[in-house]
Structure 1
């Protein structure tokens, strides 16, 4: 069935939007034609409506600017959401990248409840056989999976990080530089993988902390941050001596060897927003570092304070960073663990404001959640934080009493057991867009040092 939508002559009113067919046999009007609906045509029809939206608006905009059109009607957000809600999940996820106005619908609190959501779960590596597993949310979709059978068999494949549907691995290789780090980034949803160029050989006695940073709402390219660390001969603590940053756009590593700092980073979870990677530190602050840019000869980095309590007792009740609607958020229990507080960073004034206070007393059914000697710093908490997703209204907690991972619903205030999972489990949502095409000459990318 072919559906013809005249560009700049489509007029849709509220009644037409309500008559978009849902059931087999229903009829609807396109232009002046009546089209009989069949089940096999549903996906194709909705896809054509959705793809026509952008072309129609662009046409209307051009004609109105040239004062050659008298048409003043465009598709409303309600109608766009009504169309998108009828598409298959994978198509909806791809259409999120069509334009900024569509992307904003997925983060809008009103519309996001009407649109299909990507399945989600916690990703981890089985300690027995090394396979990658995923524990789905209680309402998770059965289509979610992390089968890596499409990848070549590398030695010692190890899960390192996950970011918005992409997964970072290290692997063994017969490279001539055995002290280098060998990374692979893969997308299980599209069954694609990219082997990154090797990093520089590590200095004796040093180690690295690697992180994958990807935010599809702002760019289709990803970054890998590889922080080199070694023990300081003066203080005895680990210091960061260098950072290498890989950009999938340039397909090369950029090294900043003037990085030395004694900041103790907590790598998981981290957030990439507007070209800046945000990490939490042991000193109850946020460490921010820009992604490399070809027009900047340096990598800007800075720190700023976190909200909430920073007393020694809270070393056992870690908070974590998150992102929602393009805004940095922070979640942390209060000093006695009875409440989870959530703040958002107001970009205009660079100040934190409270958005949620969640009762853990009601969730766990007991009032004493932190234990210890009041005259010492030897404290322990009944639970620890893993990650959170405000768009899905979910928080992941590790119950140290039962050694189980639990999901907490912000909407209902209820806990749900997810199983006996590792504490370093990573939050995973599939991403169905393919990797950007990489030119052949980019595979020979070299390492560039920053001045």
Structure 2
């Protein structure tokens, strides 16, 4: 922690101390809103959350959209460690809290059914887990360590995707289950945290439904699914009755090409050998075509930072031109504009630093989202547990 952070921490602690002995708020807070905002922006996320208890003024400042939109993005991953008799092969959650390690590394010990469930998706900080014995789904928040059991769907799912929008007010999530195919029609069940019910729908995909891959991405109220016959992306609008639009791809897909959004625009990533290509869709009405934005030699970039030969693309930064690459030991952030590594993190705590692992999902969400808990304000029939 820097001297600046220490000073800020002392300031915050002093204010909390004054609060505990019953000082009036006018005596306790003598800082302007601008100064309070600058202090809060320099605090780690945990300290920001604690600062909401300092006073009504601080709580109002932290709750203000202006400050929240300025808080940095928070890098998080879900991963499986290498086989370890002491830890098993259960999924773990980690987030980049500083330094060169994913310091906030923890298991899912708060979730009581973890041994009989698998992580089938994650979206903007929430996990979607499925029971191995029954078609039961759970949504879990690994940071606040809360979980909820969803009602049973009527049919088994072939593909499942979690759609969580932290920018909605109030925050809501949905689960989209693909349960069957009929030509170009996908049979779908959609769960909403608002209605607390599953609704069966048919979605005309515009392409053979059986050509959908497991590569899915949620952004701005729509699910983007990769398909291979023809090579395209199917955009399914969750907010408009699952209306579908087909977007042709610039290059053939092997069924695993990542789809992501960065800067509000749709990107498609292809990897052929050692070359990583990043395409961006120009979605203006007059053009609507793909443009090659970056071409990167993977091992020339991250091979020096990652031990071992295996390197894989994980995610695009949602706001800037940066990619996240993975090796069995490390996660690397590479700035595509500056052409340099801007971050590298090893997995595990001090006793497991540099351990091998396999990534399930990587995401960056605004830090302010961690100041609220969407599972604690769910439907009245929502069973919630925490530890």
Query: Which category describes the TM-score, using the shorter chain as reference length?
Result: 0.5 to 0.7
Find the counterpart in structure 2 of residue 15 from structure 1.
none
Matches within 5 A, 1:252-267: 252-257=197-202, 259=204, 262-263=208-209, 264-267=211-214
2:218, 2:94 → 1: CA distance?
22
* Partner Cα separation in structure 1 for residue 323 and residue 204 of structure 2: 34
- In 2, the alpha carbon distance for the partners of 1:365 and 1:146 equals 28
Distance 1:145 1:344, change over 3 A: farther
Residues 209 and 228 of structure 1 are in contact (CA less than 8 Å); yes or no, is this contact kept in structure 2?
A: yes
- 2:14 paired with 1:41: yes
How far apart are residue 228 of structure 1 and its match? Answer: 1.5
Aligned-partner SS, 1:40: helix
Question: Which of these residues, 261, 275, 278, is aligned with residue 224 of structure 2?
Answer: 278
Question: For 2:201 and 2:316, how far apart are their aligned partners in 1?
Answer: 32
Say whether residues 1:124 and 2:75 are aligned partners. no
Q: Calculate the aligned-residue CA RMSD, in Å.
A: 4.4
CA contact (8 A) 1:343 1:356 kept: no
Q: Structure 1: how far apart are the matches of 2:293 and 2:37?
A: 27
Of 334, 337, 342, 1:409 maps to: 334
Native 8 Å contact 1:160 1:169 kept in 2 = yes
Structure 2 partner of 1:302: 245
The CA deviation at 1:222 is 0.8
Q: Normalised by the size of structure 1, how large is the TM-score?
A: 0.59
CA 1:124–1:426 in 2, change beyond 3 Å: closer, same or farther?
A: farther
Q: Is the 8 A contact 2:155 2:179 kept in 1?
A: no
Q: 1:329 touches 1:344 (CA, 8 Å); kept in 2?
A: yes
- 1:157 — aligned with what? 117
CA displacement at 1:363 relative to structure 2: 1.8
Contact 1:211 1:224 in 2 (8 A): yes
Cα distance 1:122–1:157, how it changes in 2: closer, same or farther (>3 A)? closer
Aligned counterparts of 1:346 and 1:83: Cα–Cα separation in 2: 40
Listed one character per residue, the Cα deviations across residues 376-412 of structure 1 (whole Å, up to 9, x for unaligned) are xxxxx9754332325476534466xxx7665352255
**Residue 179 of structure 2 aligns to a residue in which SS?**
strand
Report the secondary structure of 1:289's partner residue: strand
Which consecutive residues of structure 2, in runs of 5 or more, have no partner in the other structure?
A: 19-25, 27-31, 53-58, 347-354
In the TM superposition, what whole-angstrom CA distance separates every residue of 1:330-386 from its partner, at most 9, and x where no partner exists? 1424766435324255467655455544343632679xxxxxxxxxxxxxx975433
Partner residue, 1:62 = none
Provide the secondary structure at the position in 2 that maps to 1:190.
coil
Aligned counterpart in structure 1 of residue 298 of structure 2, from 339, 351, 360: 360
**1:395 is aligned to 2:333:** no
Q: CA deviation at 1:250?
A: 1.3
Distance 1:38 1:130, change over 3 A: closer
In 1, the alpha carbon distance for the partners of 2:289 and 2:16 equals 45
User: 351, 371, 380: which is aligned to 1:440?
Assistant: 380
- Gaps of at least 5 residues in structure 1 are 1-20, 26-36, 46-51, 53-73, 107-114, 367-380, 444-451
Distance 1:23 1:133 in 2: 30
What is the CA-CA distance between 1:426 and the residue it aligns to?
A: 1.0
Contact 2:119 2:128 in 1 (8 A): yes
Offset, 1:284 = 3.2
1: CA distance, partners of 2:300 / 2:259 = 24
Q: Which among 89, 105, 111 is matched to residue 145 of structure 1?
A: 105
1:84 aligned to which of 35, 40, 47: 40
Aligned length: 329
Greater relative CO, 1 or 2 (CA 8 Å, sep 6+): 2
Matches within 5 A, 1:96-245: 98=63, 100-106=65-71, 115=72, 117-124=73-80, 129-134=88-93, 139=99, 143-153=103-113, 156-172=116-132, 178=134, 181-202=135-156, 208-219=158-169, 220-229=171-180, 241-245=186-190
Structure 1 CA distance, aligned partners of 2:11 and 2:382? 47
- Tell which structure's C-alpha radius of gyration is larger: 1
Contact 1:103–1:217 (CA<8 Å) still a contact in 2?
no
